[in-house]
Every structure is written in structure tokens, then in C-alpha cells.
Chain A
């Protein structure tokens, strides 16, 4: 396996959790940032885990590819986080980032996260080719 890129993100989860109230997610520009799949988690029990992870994952993915929504034609919604349980998640790429991923020869994306301190999320993402 070859490492094509890596991105890390450190996030104070309260910055995202503050937007979750009464099963509603009032995150700024949320329809432009999160995919329909992600927004379905709005009223789920794990929303306060899921949305910080999803946002952090988008940031780390942009860093791994060396792109930004403000400097390249990529969208926040080009990155979707699939969370299967608290320890298993997968990144799905869409749109422009999916094309870039194919062009670069990315075969898999490895993602790991942990909470070094309460309220602090550390997420690491690695782009791999065979």
C-alpha cells in the first residue's frame, strides 16, 4: 500500500453540538455542508457524536487531498461520513472529490478518531493506493 495523502483535524465538539437542539440541527448553511444522508441523522440519538465526526471528516479529507472549498471547486457535500457504530465508520466521496480520487488512484481511505480529552475530537484520515 502507498500513502497518497493524509489529513488530520482537531475539533472542539461543542462548536458543532451547540447547533443540535430539540432533535433539530441548526448548523449554518447545513444543506450546503451536509449530504441528505448525513442530515437524516438530525434527530438520531447519536447526533452529538455523528455531526462533529462528519464535519471533522470533511475537514480532514480536504486536507488529505490538499484542497479547500474556498480554493478549489470542491463542495462540502463531496464528503459523506457513514457511521455504522461508534467504532466503525467509512468515508464516501462524491462529485468533484470522487473524480479527483479516481484520478489520483485512491483505492481506500483509512479513518481513525479518538477523544484525547473530553470535548476534543482528534481525527486522522489516510488516502491509500494498492
Chain B
């Protein structure tokens, strides 16, 4: 179980923003919480997988990809803000996220 602190959200946000700035070769000024990951900065499924792996390791998460898939079918992740929100839910609830 990951330890959640008041800084966790800003940690997650920093990891996500730094990841997309590097992978998509964009400046911080070009992206914000409303940026559409696929349409605006050419994000792809491999990037989503890489981010999931980063957070699984960082917070020692017990979460399966199929569980995330089930959750995002009902709670789409299109923007950076939505990705950060969903990541926070995954960190808190792990494989129980589909019970929300």
C-alpha cells in the first residue's frame, strides 16, 4: 500500500509533466492540465504503459493493467489533468479502483 502524503499529488504532477516534456519534446509553457495527450502532443499507448510502470515502481503499487483498462473505459483519460487525477485514484485504491 502506497503512503499518501499531502505532497503526493504534486509529486505525481511533476513526474507526469516532466515525462511528457521529454517524450513529446514540448516546453512546460506548451502543456497544461487541459492538454489532450494524443491529439495535442502526439502521445501514444506506449507512453501510457511507461507512466504506469513508473508509478508502479515509485509507489510499489499492486495494480493490474486490465484493472486500469476497466476503470478508464468508464472514466476516460484524455487530458494531462485527467491522467493525474486517475493516477492519484490508482495510488490510493490500487486494484480496488473499479469498486469506486
Contact = CB atoms under 8 A, between A and B. Distances in A.
Interface of A: 15, 27-29, 32-33, 55, 59, 68-76
Interface in B35-65: 45-46, 48-50, 52-54, 56, 64-65
22 contacts: A15-B46, A28-B50, A29-B49, A29-B53, A32-B64, A32-B66, A55-B46, A68-B45, A69-B45, A69-B69, A70-B48, A70-B69, A70-B73, A70-B76, A70-B77, A71-B72, A72-B73, A73-B69, A74-B69, A75-B65, A75-B69, A76-B65
Interface residues of B, number: 18
Contacts, number: 43
A8 to B, nearest CB: 14
Contacts of A73: 69-70, 73
Nearest to A62: B45
A69 B76 CA distance: 11
A104 to B, nearest CB: 20
Contacts of B54: 28
Contact of A28 (B49, B69, B73): B49
Given A29-B53, A32-B64, 15 more contacts: A15-B46, A27-B49, A28-B50, A29-B49, A29-B52, A29-B65, A32-B66, A33-B65, A69-B45, A70-B73, A70-B76, A71-B72, A71-B76, A73-B70, A76-B65
A28 B76 contact: no
